[in-house]
Amino acid sequence: MILVKEKEILVNEAIRAQFPILSREVNGKPLVYLDNAASSQKPQRVMDAITHYYTFDHSNVHRGVHFLSQLATEKYEAARTKMQHFVNARESREIIFTKGCTDGINLVAYGIGRSILKPGDEVLISEMEHHSNIVPWQMAADQAGAKLVVINVNDDGTLNMDDFHAKLSDKTRIVSIVHISNSLGTINPAKEITAAAHKKGALVLIDGAQAAPHMKIDVQEIGCDFYVFSGHKMYGPTGSGILYGKAEVLESLPPYQGGGEMIKDVTFEKTTYNDLPFKFEAGTPNIEAGIALAEAVDFIYDIGYEHIGNVERNLVSYATERLSEIEGIRFVGTAKEKASVVSFLVDGTHPYDVGAIIDKMGVAVRTGHHCTQPLMDKYGIPGTIRASFAVYNTYEEIDVLTDSVKRAVKMLRA
C-alpha cells in the first residue's frame, strides 16, 4: 500500500517534471520559485504549442482564403471556444482575447468612460485593488467628470461588506472588484457583490487575475458583466489574456482601438464596426499566445482544480506554520477565505533586505508593495514579503524559504 504522503510526492514529481525551468539553479542554488502570483512558470506542453504553431500552422487569422490562414483561424477560434467553456460563458463571442488583465480592464474602463459615465456618477472599487484596477478607472472618471469611490478593507484583509453596501448607491454605474487579492490572498464574495450591484442598476467587473490559476471560474454563476484575467499567471504565455463580457453589454460599448479586423466597412466618411468579438480585437492578434493559453487550460484540466486547490491550501497552511517559528513575524492578510499567498513582515527588518538576501539562496519571492500602494499605506507598512504558490511547489521548498528567511533575519538583526 502506498501511503498518502508518498503518493502525493509521486504526483508532485510528475507535475514538476513538466516544468524544465524548475530544475535550473540560481546563484548556485536550486531554484525555489515562490513568485507565482507575479507570473507562473510554463509547462513544456505550453512551450511546445507555441513552437508547433510557428512550425506548422502560422499565417494571419481571419484574412486569407488560403490553407494556412484557414488553419490558423481554426486553431485560434478553437482556443476562443476553449476559453468560453473555461469560464462557462454562454457564447464564444463573449470572449475577447487581450494582452492580459490590465488590457481587459482598460478596454472596459475606456468604453464605460465614454458611453456610460456622466458627471456626478460613481465608480466603486476597493482599497485592495491592484493599480491596474485603480488607474484605468481614475482616468475614465476624470474624463467623464465622475467620482471614484473606495470600499474599505478590514484589518484581517477582508472586504468591509457593510462599507460596500453603504457606498453602493443609485449613482454607482460600475463596481470593479478583485476576485482574489494579489497582496493578501483574500477571496471576495463576487456573487454577492454582483447581485447587490445589479439591484442598484450598476454593472460589475471582476478582476480574476489571481483567481483563474486557482479555482474554477463560472461567470454565469457569478452573474458579473465582465470578468478579466491574464494567461501568464495560469501557466500560459505572457501577452495573453481574456476579457469575458455579457454580449449585450459588450455590444453597447464603443470600440477600444481602431484598425483592421474590427471593421465591416471603411470609407473616409464612415466606418461600420464588426460584430463581437472582433469589434474589440483590432489588428493582428497574439495568435500563438491565444493558442498556447488554450493548451495551459488543458494542463489545468488534466490536473484538475480540486487537486490544485488541495495542494495550494496545504502549502499555505504549512508555510504559515513554518514561518510562525520566526520571532517577530507578522502576517498581512489573514482572511479565512484565502488563496495561495502568504504575505509577511519580520520586525526589525525591511522586506527589500530580506528579499535581496534570500534571492542569493535561490529563493524567488516578491517584495514591496505588490502594486497595491494604497493598501500598504493603509496598513502603514513599506511593503511585504510575499510567497505565492503554484501546484508544482513542495513542502521542501517551504523549508528552504523558512531557513533562508531565518538566516536573513539573523544577519539583519545582528
Partner 1 sequence: MSERIADIQADIVAEFEMLPDWMDKYEHLIDLGKNLPLINQTHKLDENLIKGCQSRVWLHADADGLVVKYTADSDAIITKGIIALMVRVLSNQPPEEIVRADMGFIDQIGLKEHLSPTRSNGLVSMIKQMKYYALALQAKQM
Report, as residue numbers or ranges, the catalytic residues: 371
Closest contact distance (angstroms) between CB of 310 and partner 1 is: 34
CB of 350 to partner 1, least distance (A): 4
Selected from 382, 395, 399, 403, the binder of partner 1 by CB under 8 A is 382
Strands 147-151 and 122-126: parallel
Dihedral, CA atoms, 37, 219, 124, 118, nearest 10 degrees? 130
Which of 78-86, 189-197, 210-218, 366-374 is the region at the interface with partner 1 (rule: CB under 8 A)?
366-374
**What's CA 55's distance to the chain center, in Å?**
30
Q: Is 356 in the site for partner 1 (CB under 8 A)?
A: yes
406 near partner 1, rule: CB under 8 A: no
Q: Is residue 383 part of the contact set for partner 1 (CB under 8 A)? A: yes
What minimum distance in Å lies between the beta carbon of 365 and partner 1? 13
In this structure, the dihedral spanned by the alpha carbons of residues 129, 130, 134 and 136, taken in order and rounded to 10 degrees, is: -140
**8 lines the binding site for partner 1 (CB under 8 A):** no
DSSP state string for 181-195: -TTT-BBP-HHHHHH
Binding segment for partner 1 among 53-61, 187-195, 317-325, 365-373 (CB under 8 A)? 365-373
Closest Cα to residue 34, out of 387, 405, 400? 387
The span from the CA of 11 to the CA of 103, in Å, is 36
Residue 360 in the binding site for partner 1 (CB under 8 A): yes
351, 365, 379, 405: residue in contact with partner 1 (rule CB under 8 A): 351
Interacting span for partner 1 (CB under 8 A) from 90-98, 108-116, 155-163, 351-359: 351-359
Q: Is 377 in the site for partner 1 (CB under 8 A)?
A: no
By CB under 8 A, residue 353 contacts partner 1: yes
**Which residue's CB is nearer to partner 1, number 82 or number 369?**
369
- CA distance linking residue 306 with residue 210, whole number of Å: 16
Least Å distance, CB 275 to partner 1, is 41
Cβ atoms 359, 27 nearer than 8 A? yes
Q: Is 179 in the site for partner 1 (CB under 8 A)?
A: no
Which window, 44-52, 89-97, 106-114, 360-368, contacts partner 1 (CB under 8 A)? 360-368
| Helices and strands, counts by H and E, the chain | 14, 17
Measured CA to CA, the distance from residue 400 to residue 358 in angstroms comes to 9
Question: Counting contacts by CB under 8 A, is residue 386 touching partner 1?
Answer: no
Among 58, 216, 350, 406, binds partner 1 (CB under 8 A): 350
- Decide if residue 412 touches partner 1 (CB under 8 A): yes
Q: Positive or negative CA dihedral for 169, 175, 179, 184?
A: negative
Beta carbons of 265 and 72 less than 8 angstroms apart: no
CB of 377 to partner 1, least distance (A): 13
Nearest CB to partner 1, comparing residues 285 and 351: 351
Half-sphere exposure of 105 (CA within 13 A, CB side): 28
Taking Cα atoms as reference points, which of 41, 62, 40 lies closest to residue 287?
62
Position 367 contacts partner 1 (CB under 8 A) = yes
Is 338 within 8 Å of 215 (Cβ atoms)? no
- Per CB under 8 A, residues contacting partner 1 are 27, 349-353, 356-357, 360, 367-369, 382-383, 407, 411-412, 414
